[in-house]
Amino acid sequence: MDAAAIAKGPGELWSRIDAYLRTRVRPETYAKFFAPLRAASLESDLLVVAAPDHFHRDFVDDNYRPFFEEFLPGLAGRALRLSFVVDEALRAVPTPAPLLTPVPRPDAHRTGSQAPDPREVRPNSRYTFDTFVVGESNRFAFAATQAVAGNPGKTWNPLFIHGDSGLGKTHLLHAVAHAILEKQGGGRVAIVSSERYTNDFVDAIKKGTLDEFRRKYRECDAFIVDDVQFLAGKEKTAEEFFHTFNELHDHHVQIVLSSDRPPKDLKGLDDRLCSRFEWGMRVQIEPPEFETRAAILKKKAEVERIDLPDDVTDLLATHIRSNVRALEGALMRLAAFASLKAQPITISLARDVLSDVIPPQGYRPPIERIQEVVAAHYGLTVAKLTSSSREQKVALPRQVAMYLCRILAEEKLQAIAEKFNKRDHTTVIAAIDRVKSLMETDPAVHTAVQALVAKLAP
């Protein structure tokens, strides 16, 4: 192919890539992973490919980069480097007009209307209350979001949801947006990430369009902001956010916020803003337990039309505990591989494809890993844990670590002693006996050991 074929720009090259993908992968794989992609730019030897969100970008980059690098030179006529980026505009889909048309608020100072901003972020159509899997870890957060969606601005305002990344906070925020829009039968919801809010504010300052920016975020029926922790350190943006919060709260507009930590732990944000985050209701989402993880996998498989056997569901739910995003990402990665290879999903295939997150059968954590996990749990360094210190705050964690090395790693007593800088293995025997005794009489020790076993399990 003549290299001049790409001289007309990224559009023509992407048309060739798109046509190739349609013929090489199954229709469902194309629709899930490739249809939303676009060529953002083509400069020199670099092709920039845009995805609608961070998950999509990372998934394609992690799992399909070699696939692209294999066929791309033949279509382009020469070697090209690839870069995958996020373009939120690709996530915007046509929505019924009533949901996008701002309605004048009854307040005297809120008059007129503005045309909808085509760059405005819409709620993700996949993130609704119906598609959210409820378990013990998120039941209260789910109930709270349903309550504010059913009675916006009056039940709890603001609603502040916090928890580690990937546990479903974003899903609930978008579900609230959908529910409020359906309930209102019109109006608009301003749903945005703190990063997008910051970028819009900076852009408004540069262009001298602050009035337009304020109309966008203050003339709405609900203000929903994801990851507010990223406002920390951005003094002018946080100041503007503070005034927007006050304006909306004074007029009983529902505010829903999410963060990876509670308000009191938001360092770098003005105390007066953090205190306002506590005005309404604060709820936490915990990592999902096994039953919820399994239910999430089944729900995701149903939505994506993936044939997921029960034994594979149990395997993934057992080993992938950190967050929902990692769980769903592993499922989609497995499904994509099975589709490309035209193979059914099996235990063997899952262990092969997900070997980086699913340890091999018979896995035992090494002593070094146990030392790291135990030290971190008790707020110590490994050096302190393996030192000769006899302080109780060091001695007990050391004994717990020795116990776990024997129980989980099944190491020899002398080998454990040497790793803890002890000459005599009788020290290890004494440590094991003491921990066994404390587990029967001290609930705190029993709980700590159980937590460590869960962290170290394959």
Question: Which residues are within 8 A (CB) of 70 and not within 5 positions of it... i.e. 6 or more apart?
Answer: none
Location of each CATH 3.30.300.180 domain in the chain:
3-90
Location of each CATH 1.10.8.60 domain in the chain:
290-353
When pLDDT is averaged across residues 246-267 and rounded to a whole number, the result is 92
Location of each CATH 3.40.50.300 domain in the chain:
97-284
Q: Reply yes or no on domain 3-90 having CATH 3.30.300.180.
A: yes
Beta strand pairing call for 46-51 and 81-86: parallel
Q: What is the pLDDT of residues 274-317, one digit of tens each?
A: 999 989 999 999 888 888 889 999 988 988 889 999 999 988 98
Lowest mean pLDDT among 41-45, 372-376, 378-382: 41-45
Arithmetic mean of pLDDT over the chain: 83
pLDDT of the residue at 91: 60
Q: Reply yes or no on domain 367-456 having CATH 1.10.1750.10.
A: yes
Q: Reply yes or no on domain 97-284 having CATH 3.40.50.300.
A: yes
pLDDT grade, residue 2 (50/70/90)?
Answer: very low
The 8-class DSSP code of residue 128 comes to S
> Do 295 and 327 form a contact (C-beta atoms < 8 A)?
no
Location of each CATH 1.10.1750.10 domain in the chain:
367-456
pLDDT grade, residue 1 (50/70/90)?
Answer: very low
High-pLDDT (> 90) share of the chain, %: 32
DSSP codes of every residue in 201-270: HHHHHHHT-HHHHHHHHHSSSEEEEE-GGGGTT-HHHHHHHHHHHHHHHHTT-EEEEEESS-GGG-TTS-
pLDDT of the residue at 119: 46
When pLDDT is averaged across residues 154-182 and rounded to a whole number, the result is 91
Fold of 290-353: Helicase, Ruva Protein; domain 3 (1.10.8)
In 107-146, at which residue ranges do the beta strands (DSSP E only) sit? none
pLDDT of the residue at 3: 43
